[in-house]
Structure 1
């Protein structure tokens, strides 16, 4: 791994005030950089994310830089407002990066245009990629940011593939979770409990899980997480669906939870995202405590060795996988062991986090020196 650069300050840029998996990784990196003696600031909107920043990490406020589920004319108006907010954020970033001793790390795709407006020819900016960039909006935003980004560090090979096609110089630095951890107790529950944890939004596929579970009376469902602004109608639709006769009494909505203790109480974790994901942290968290995983086959953290993988947006395939897992204790045991082995081998946070930080801080010259 190349040595770190001599940049005196590390500045992360996040587009939203919310704290999800990508922001959890950013916060861990910020804490590690502080322990190494670096000055660290986070540029993000005011809100929950700012409140989670370590005491030693500075904060610089910018407007929200995302679209929040608007439709029709509202979405067009929101897009116009977003362009204006990118410009406002660019003014802030220009001041933050005034010296040449700042390493700027863009932690979210939707912040890229603001960086490109602020620093169109400063190619030392690094993009930490948590998304699989395939939608038209994502591709347009990535192309807009290309002028300012010198390198990209992707959290999985799946996330790196489309970026290479766009001409980015990409390095892969795997995600990790805390290890070692005690396994969840093996409890043969009747009915089995299947849980899904994450932002409650349509592309995460909670509705797919409910459709699959409707034909599995032997299964109980727990949905953990909350809706972002603009996604409240989706959450309401899920609640209405859960009250129908084929699901009534079998679905619980938990809201925001502490992930690991919640996952420990499940027999299976479901990752049902309809759109590609680079690698949900919740999948790694479930694997770390030996909870079997059923996940859509997007090529992220879930593979055939560590999870049952199914086609996205396919309730029948998800139903069949859950039924098979429920009826096969040996399969559940194999997935428990395989998941924990994979975490120990490839996703130990004590190993992956320093490697990711080194990748973000490395200069282009240092990267070239270690390439064959």
Structure 2
């Protein structure tokens, strides 16, 4: 088998922990054992053939339990120092022909082999598993704790990549391999039930554990020997990447990027199957050093100005090692890197992220790194790396086992924690928040403000993965991601007819939401599809459902079928509706005849903090970051690319505004790629390419808005609210918005913004020209807009209003 199993280190989500077999009777029996002598501990590892990431974890587990016995499928180690000289008890595969070099070929036999290891004499079993170790057989009086580097990735999400790399995509061998992997998946799920406690090596892997095994896990990051790396504050003018050269590490993408930046030097350390292909792409400014001993790697890590990392890793030890050297990281913003690198826009940053594994994205990140807009301190990098030290790992592991199995480790004395005197009292409200999207749209950003500031216990269910999940977990909100891909083609206009696959997908979402709703006092649904699933789950589980309506439910936005579903779900299944504007409230009342006591209008609250943090940064710095012209008058449009959002209106207006530039921030999120193609074709057809800038999706909207002179809102249909208008006001930029929908709750024409007719490009052009030539007008709009945004649309009032409604609804439900 050609897949490199040892590369699979991983991560997951913070959850509660349950000891499946830890009953009082079991504890009494274990206490009797301990009284008669020390508990016996067994440590089970997949295979012992090298010293890599998983073996570093094993080394530290042994340090915690030095008297433990070791078990493994095979043991062919030559250097046994990290095992303290111990030899593993092995399976029958150890003696099979060619096992030393071809042990991976015996994967079909490994489930059977691991089950033949006799651990019946041990009280505590700790498995270190990225393949089969967790499948050992244990009895009801034994406690099995499994440290999971990843569920068997080549049998789950990497199956197709594994088959491709092994040349097993077609033919009889392919069929046989697929049958084996199917068997392995079934065995993997079945044996997960015999584990008492799961530990994940990152949040990323905890989510994978939950998705595959439907089990919670504690996150304890894997150990990194940070003491072996010395920090250095004096950096030299080169970038470094170091890795085994295999396809998923994306070293070739990094090399391609630097080949297009001949003024930047890149040093590449590592070897592997892709070496020749990568060498062929290297230019004179790219030095391919191949495999190097630790001393050389260490020296280069200390001196490099930044470490570049383009893989989607479950954890990524090299990223932590670079920071231990005081070196910031430029990393792909997915997987474990999100947990080990502090982003450039946060406090004490240690690196920055790029969003796609492409040369262009890496080039943009390097340019931003070189711009001087960000500063990185070697001491901050080192301090962040120390969170993942060997000592921290041992402390975390022993403390966790002391909590879940105190009969084996004496727990530390309890420390009484006192709440800060001025802190608001916690609420006992339990909320299940449900959203259909993994993207960070306006509805999701508004929901984020609610759940991160709510005082009760909030758990979130999403129907898709993405930046929204990352943002929620970053503020400590528990998240479960359900598979909602089958709903991806369902459109608001009702033109998509539900097929069998879509109906099966709905049932899966309903089961998952229903499972989470049973522990909630109230279900808080945020979007239309989430409302339908949540309403049915609430009906079955007998939980009240509150819909935060962020749409105008009219024929302009929805098809007849969707409107009928919304109407009857709202009338029959929802306890309460929160509308984000008077326009949204009026539309839902017209559709459903909802009684006044079941409907509240609560304007969205938007935090001013991301904008005030950038007050000291000059506009030219933001323009340099995004590659915008320094001297031009720039108009910004901030929204996902969709026809009803009206980006084409601004392009038409730009033809009349000869000296202006336009910036479009946003992507085509929901099957609207055709519209994006039309916009780009229009730009080329009318010679606007030099004056139109498509920036795609951007995380930092505040920085983007600070880079422009005017913020425009161009929707051609009534907008439910108009979050971008508030953000424009907070960024202290004059705002032009269309005269319809929720916008009318925000803008007083000529006072804090200027209104124009939806779809009227000529009027928009006249307004933009007027703003360009009238600086006093711009200043007055900015001043009044900022006052309006901070006084009427602050987050505190918003969150308190929503929380009060949820509390009231839950309270009424309890009395019934």
Class of the TM-score when normalised by the shorter of the 2 chains:
0.7 to 0.9
1:211 is aligned, of 652, 670, 689, to 652
Q: 2: CA distance between counterparts of 1:127 and 1:65?
A: 22
Q: Deviations over 1:277-315 (max 9, x none)?
A: 222222111101220111111242442232211121222
Distance apart, 1:246 and its partner CA:
4.4
Q: 2: CA distance between counterparts of 1:115 and 1:192?
A: 46
Q: Is the 8 A contact 1:128 1:155 kept in 2?
A: yes
Q: Deviations over 1:158-189 (max 9, x none)?
A: 221112222332111121222365468799x8
Residue 19 of structure 1: SS of its match in structure 2?
coil
Residue 716 of structure 2: SS of its match in structure 1?
coil
1:284 is aligned, of 726, 730, 741, to 726
1:351 is aligned, of 777, 782, 797, to 797
Residue 175 of structure 1 aligns with which residue?
604
Is 2:701 the partner of 1:259? Answer: yes
Higher Cα Rg, which structure = 2
Change (3 A) 1:329 1:82: farther
Q: Deviations over 1:231-265 (max 9, x none)?
A: 22211221121123442311011112210011011
Q: Which runs of 5+ in 2 are unaligned?
A: 1-424, 621-629
Q: Is the 8 A contact 2:576 2:809 kept in 1?
A: no
Of stretches 166-175 and 87-96 in structure 1, the one that deviates more from structure 2 is: 87-96
With structure 1 as the length reference, what TM-score do the two structures score?
Answer: 0.85
Q: Is the 8 A contact 2:666 2:696 kept in 1?
A: yes
Change (3 A) 1:214 1:79: farther
Distance apart, 1:266 and its partner CA:
0.8
Q: Which runs of 5+ in 1 are unaligned?
A: 367-372
Distance apart, 1:68 and its partner CA:
4.6
Residue 507 of structure 2 aligns with which residue?
87
Residue 370 of structure 1 aligns with which residue?
none
Q: Deviations over 1:85-133 (max 9, x none)?
A: 333322222222235x421011001222223333347572100111121
Q: Is the 8 A contact 1:271 1:295 kept in 2?
A: yes
Residue 137 of structure 2 aligns with which residue?
none
Q: 1: CA distance between counterparts of 2:662 and 2:523?
A: 42
With structure 2 as the length reference, what TM-score do the two structures score?
Answer: 0.41
Q: 2: CA distance between counterparts of 1:71 and 1:356?
A: 26
Residue 685 of structure 2: SS of its match in structure 1?
coil
Superposition map of 1:155-174 within 5 A: 155-165=580-590, 166-168=592-594, 169-174=598-603
Q: Is the 8 A contact 1:12 1:107 kept in 2?
A: yes
Note the aligned Cα RMSD (angstroms). 3.0
Residue 522 of structure 2 aligns with which residue?
103
Q: Is the 8 A contact 1:69 1:230 kept in 2?
A: no
Q: Is the 8 A contact 1:177 1:349 kept in 2?
A: yes
2:435 is aligned, of 14, 17, 22, to 14
Residue 153 of structure 1 aligns with which residue?
578
Q: Is the 8 A contact 2:438 2:462 kept in 1?
A: yes
Q: Is the 8 A contact 2:522 2:543 kept in 1?
A: no
Q: 1: CA distance between counterparts of 2:564 and 2:753?
A: 33
Change (3 A) 1:91 1:359: same
2:688 is aligned, of 244, 247, 250, to 247
Residue 311 of structure 2 aligns with which residue?
none
Residue 271 of structure 1 aligns with which residue?
713
Change (3 A) 1:281 1:66: farther
Q: Is the 8 A contact 1:272 1:295 kept in 2?
A: yes
Paired residue total: 358
Is 2:619 the partner of 1:191? Answer: no
Q: Is the 8 A contact 2:486 2:501 kept in 1?
A: no
Q: 2: CA distance between counterparts of 1:50 and 1:13?
A: 12
Superposition map of 1:222-371 within 5 A: 222-257=663-698, 258-301=700-743, 302-303=746-747, 304=749, 305-363=751-809
1:76 is aligned, of 496, 499, 523, to 496
Distance apart, 1:214 and its partner CA:
1.4
Q: 2: CA distance between counterparts of 1:16 and 1:261?
A: 24
